């Protein structure tokens, strides 16, 4: 932790120092220095402009800190309002209705279709070429997809996350696995062996209330549910294969029907009631803080490969510009600064949020040298967002109710899937 603070302060000092050096050069020559990419154009510098930003969650409270060098560099003031995630959706709807709101909005990746449809976000397609840091090639492909809708770009990737496998290395070794399972078959096999350790022992703890799981598995089976043009055929053989595979863990007792019996960290401790699970990067700190006695006894790995691939879910957040903003140029300058590799690398030290900018991973040794983080970088190369369609949330919730009929009620999978598919079609056609 001490190293991270030192690293962050050194980075900010470097950014500020380079800014002053650039300003001095500009003053001496009377011209703008364009050698520093996307260093905000001198013509846009104004001490009279305040960029109002809505950031989401606890991490947003750090935005003002990371933006300090930007204000020094450009003169633009930054006003950040941190909004809890559970209140953000309604607050955004209110802003849309009144046409008054912030300039920049941190938007959850899965929310993009809804708010584009609400005509609340500015089309940024024509602005991207003006800023080198905003080039799509700078970011993970899946992160870029979350910013696009109907052939246009409405956001810039900010931070990202994905899901990987966490596992107790010593316990898996005890059942014959010296490394993480690499395929669906191996995951099922190791789960069976872990279950055979005795009563109240489990293998893979799939969360039946996690709406993304069946879509992720269907995609691994060969369906195309991710991205900007997702398949909406929810009764395909790939979807049925995924639902069947998922249900087998519950039917065979390898996954507890009620995950409330134990949380992930507790499940990993001691004898490892549940010695493996799927989660995001935030769990690294949680494991380190709450299970220090397990240091060296657990690891992370990319997801097991299904019949077609091992693509994971992509989450995170994007920066967007409110359609009614009167400070578009300043807003784009701010987003450009936040997209710099060194800024995103520093953001990781502040918040542990994974950079969407691929180069940022090489800027920070806390990322590049951490074996627990490495699988996330590998997984992000192919991770994709959930279906980018406005109706997806309703469709996913409908699936949870359908799947409960399967894993709790032993209903026929094909019958339930057919009924679910009809419901999904109705939602899509409304």
Q: What is the pLDDT of residues 243-288, one digit of tens each?
A: 999 999 999 999 998 866 678 999 999 999 999 999 999 999 999 9
388 vs 292, more confident = 292
- Go through the domains of the chain in sequence order and give each one's CATH number: 2-161+314-380 (3.40.190.10), 164-312+387-429 (3.40.190.10)
Helix residue ranges per DSSP H, 306-380: 328-338, 341-351, 360-363, 365-368, 374-380
pLDDT tens-place string over residues 159-210: 999 999 999 999 999 999 999 999 999 999 999 999 999 999 999 999 988 9
Angle at 82 between CA 77 and CA 83, to 5 degrees: 140
DSSP secondary structure code for residue 232 in this structure: -
Helices (H) and strands (E) in the chain, counts: 19, 11
| 3-class secondary-structure state, position 53 | strand
CB-based contact 389:232 (threshold 8 Å): yes
Nearest to 205 by CA among 284, 289, 293, 266: 266
Q: Please report where in the chains the tokens 């584009």 appear, as a residue.
A: 116
pLDDT of residue 163: 96
Nearest to 4 by CA among 366, 315, 331: 366
Q: pLDDT band at 346, cuts 50/70/90?
A: very high
Token output for 219: 């995609």
| 3-class secondary-structure state, position 371 | coil
pLDDT higher than threshold 50 for residue 411:
yes
Q: pLDDT band at 13, cuts 50/70/90?
A: very low
pLDDT of residue 260: 64
Spatial distance between the Cα atoms of 206 and 311, rounded to a whole number of angstroms: 17
């Amino acid at each position: 932790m001490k190293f991270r603070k030192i690293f962050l302060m050194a980075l900010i000092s470097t950014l500020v120092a380079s800014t002053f050096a650039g300003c001095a050069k500009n003053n001496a020559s009377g011209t703008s220095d364009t050698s520093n990419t996307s260093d905000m154009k001198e013509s846009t510098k104004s001490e009279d402009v305040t960029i109002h930003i809505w950031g989401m969650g606890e991490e947003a409270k750090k935005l003002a800190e990371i933006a300090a060098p930007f204000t020094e560099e450009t003169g633009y003031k930054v006003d950040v309002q941190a909004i809890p995630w559970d209140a953000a959706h309604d607050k955004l709807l209110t802003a849309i209705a009144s046409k008054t709101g912030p300039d920049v909005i941190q938007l959850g990746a899965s929310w993009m279709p809804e708010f584009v449809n609400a005509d609340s976000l500015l089309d940024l397609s024509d602005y991207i070429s003006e800023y080198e840091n905003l080039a799509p090639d700078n970011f993970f492909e899946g992160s870029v997809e979350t910013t696009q809708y109907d052939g246009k770009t409405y956001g810039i990737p900010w931070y990202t996350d994905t899901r990987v496998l966490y596992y107790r290395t010593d316990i898996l070794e005890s059942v014959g696995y010296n490394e993480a399972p690499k395929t669906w078959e191996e995951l099922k096999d190791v789960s069976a062996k872990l279950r055979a350790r005795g009563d109240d022992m489990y293998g893979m703890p799939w969360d039946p209330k996690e709406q993304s799981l069946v879509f992720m598995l269907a995609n691994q089976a060969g369906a195309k549910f991710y991205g900007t043009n997702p398949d909406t055929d929810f009764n395909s053989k790939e979807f049925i294969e995924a639902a069947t595979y998922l249900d087998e863990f519950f039917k065979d007792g390898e996954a507890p029907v009620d995950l409330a019996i134990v949380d992930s960290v507790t499940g990993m401790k001691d004898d490892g009631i549940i010695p493996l699970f799927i989660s995001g990067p935030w769990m690294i700190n949680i494991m380190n803080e709450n299970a220090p006695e397990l240091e060296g006894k657990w690891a992370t790995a990319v997801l097991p490969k299904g019949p077609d691939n091992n693509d994971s879910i992509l989450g995170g957040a994007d920066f967007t510009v409110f359609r009614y903003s009167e400070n578009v140029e300043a807003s784009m300058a701010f987003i450009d600064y936040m997209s710099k590799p060194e800024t995103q690398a520093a953001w990781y030290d502040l918040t542990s949020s994974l950079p969407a900018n691929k180069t940022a991973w090489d800027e920070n040794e806390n990322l590049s040298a951490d074996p627990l983080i490495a699988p996330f970088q590998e997984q992000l190369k192919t991770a994709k967002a959930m279906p980018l369609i406005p109706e997806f949330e309703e469709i996913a919730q409908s699936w949870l109710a359908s799947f409960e009929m399967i894993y709790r009620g032993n209903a026929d999978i094909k019958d339930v899937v057919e009924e679910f598919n009809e419901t999904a079609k109705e939602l899509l056609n409304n």
